[in-house]
Chains A and B, each alone.
Chain A
Amino acid sequence: MELGVYSFGDVQRSQTGLGPTSQAITNLLEAIQLADKVGLDFFGVGEHHTAYFPASSPATILAAAAATTTHITLSSAVSVLSTDDPVRVYQQFATANIISGGRVEIVAGRGSSTESFPLFGYDLRDYDALYAEKLALLLQINDLGPNEPLTWEGQFRAPLQNIAIVPQPDSPLTIWLATGGNPESSIRAAALGLPIAYAIIGGHMSRFAPLVDLYRRAAEQYEMKPSDVKIAIASPGYIAEDAKDAKDTFWKHWGWTMATLGKVRGFAAPSRAHYDAESQQDGALFAGSPDEIADRIIALHASIGHSRHFFQMDVGQLPHDKFLRSIELLGTEVAPRVRAAIKDKK
């Protein structure tokens, strides 16, 4: 079982409101380096383009992290492929992958927010078509043999005539497909031969068990290589020594984020009662003490059989020192308990 963290680059609070976005980026790099140091397996950077989540360029941060870490897997989580050029995405991640000695991956997804559409001049009405075409192109580039040129034509970018896409890492990038629960996405991942990452940000975790089952059945049907059939889970989480402290702290920051997000997406802010119900047992919010979080990961593994679980901790201006402490506890307290309980086959 691999454990890790993902982040959108959370901006700190200042006297006047939101702190500088520059600080969020240096904080993020520091967090990745700490995650590596405490023995965590994974760090993902999720592309966002807002004043409070400014990690707009994951590949750049990952390249810096690649050069300053030694063993942690570094990834986007997710790359919003729909509004980017797959050629450029590939080049940037391939470069970072080479710098890291093969530790950089891509998690591709539609992304949960749409702010990159107006930013890069795309039309939301092309939401599905953009994603399908760009994902297919990225996979095609990743599958090219050494120095094999590419010829491609599509709707949303200029055609490619016999062009080499460089640099190429020694082996293809690992590309995951991220989904938030649409059944068709589980089938799509298997049809494309990709490992899958489920983002579970609310409700009961167990509701994803049937979808995981669907993914596995589809993987058989599409004759995926068994070693490529992998399941990752991404969920909100925050760890502190004391369970109550962890829950109160995360409520303050997660609650703020949901209230803010609600305004953008048109839903009302969640209540503390709702939060409390979801931050225990089968709930999607992993806020608690190391023991509690370890137990919940182990229980979830028993029902879903995932091989990677990563947590979004720094939301809603969580103080940076608390973020770092939570990463440290995940690496030094939670991970050993989970690893001891789950005998990895790999």
Chain B
Amino acid sequence: MTSQMTPLLGIIGAGRLGTAVARQALRAGYSVQLANSRGPASLALPLSVLLPGAKAAELTELARTSDLIVLALPLHAYRSMSPELLAGKVVIDAMNYWSPTEGRIEEFVGSHSSSEYLQTYFSKSRLVKTLNHIAYHELEEDALPADAVNRRGLALAGDDLSAKQLVSQLINELGFEAVDLGPLARGVLFEPDTPLFNTRLSAAQIRTLTATTPS
């Protein structure tokens, strides 16, 4: 991807979060394609009404052509994708594990971040965890331009610096200040049941809240 071209954002999952990310990305000038489990035809009507300009794609086609991919599907559905599908890609993991609503999923039980497990599963992708700790509608309601005061911050974590740069730029263009909290393991800082989860915080507040927590 060159910086002059509009990056092609691929979103897997066209539900609440997927469509909200798509809408903001379209506004920011990205080209956007979405896929679900039922094929592009099932997305024709919703995209024409909700997201004019976005394209419905076949999952494999989306995975092949996108510069950046967002996982916006229920967590357990990751298994429906082979690790090869997303090989070589920068992938945003926006999904959450929370057993009271998701049910118990063995591989996510424990003190590690759900994204760490997914990184081992999608071992040939470069995973960045973000967009998981904001309510989908707030992606639109709270978005502000870069020079605004009191802009809301969004945390991110990942093991690959260039991937994080790309994702930080997206977050910024969506209307939020990206706050890099370090390696993917630090993703536990903004998972469900943490002070960062679903809370409106500035970048500075996020840094203060996480500074005392050892990595």
Contact = CB atoms under 8 A, between A and B. Distances in A.
Interface in A170-194: 181-184, 187
Contacts of A187: 45-46
A264 B137 contact: no
A181 B135 contact: no
A182 B16 contact: yes
B100 A183 contact: no
Interface stretch (A94-102, A205-213, A303-311): A205-213
A162 B79 CA distance: 40
A149 to B, nearest CB: 34
Contact of A123 (B14, B103, B195): B103
B192 A124 contact: no
Nearest to A112: B101
Interface string B15-50: 110010000000000000000000000000110011
Nearest to A264: B100
Contacts of A214: 45-46, 49-50
Contact of A114 (B15, B45, B101): B101
A268 interface: yes
B101 A265 contact: yes
Contact of B100 (A114, A127, A203): A114
A181 B141 CA distance: 15
A51 B100 CA distance: 17
Nearest to B201: A268
Interface residues of A, number: 30
B174 to A, nearest CB: 16
A205 B49 CA distance: 18
B98 interface: yes
Given A123-B103, A124-B103, A183-B50, A203 B45 contact: no
Contact of A267 (B49, B140, B198): B198
A152 B121 CA distance: 41
A218 interface: yes
B100 A265 contact: yes
A235 to B, nearest CB: 14
B193 interface: yes
Nearest to B14: A183
B202 interface: no
Nearest to A210: B50
Interface in A101-147: 114, 117, 123-125, 127
Interface of B: 14-16, 19, 45-46, 49-50, 76, 96, 98, 100-103, 135-138, 140-141, 191-193, 195-200
Interface of A: 114, 117, 123-125, 127, 181-184, 187, 202-204, 207, 210-211, 213-214, 217-218, 221, 262, 264-268, 271, 274
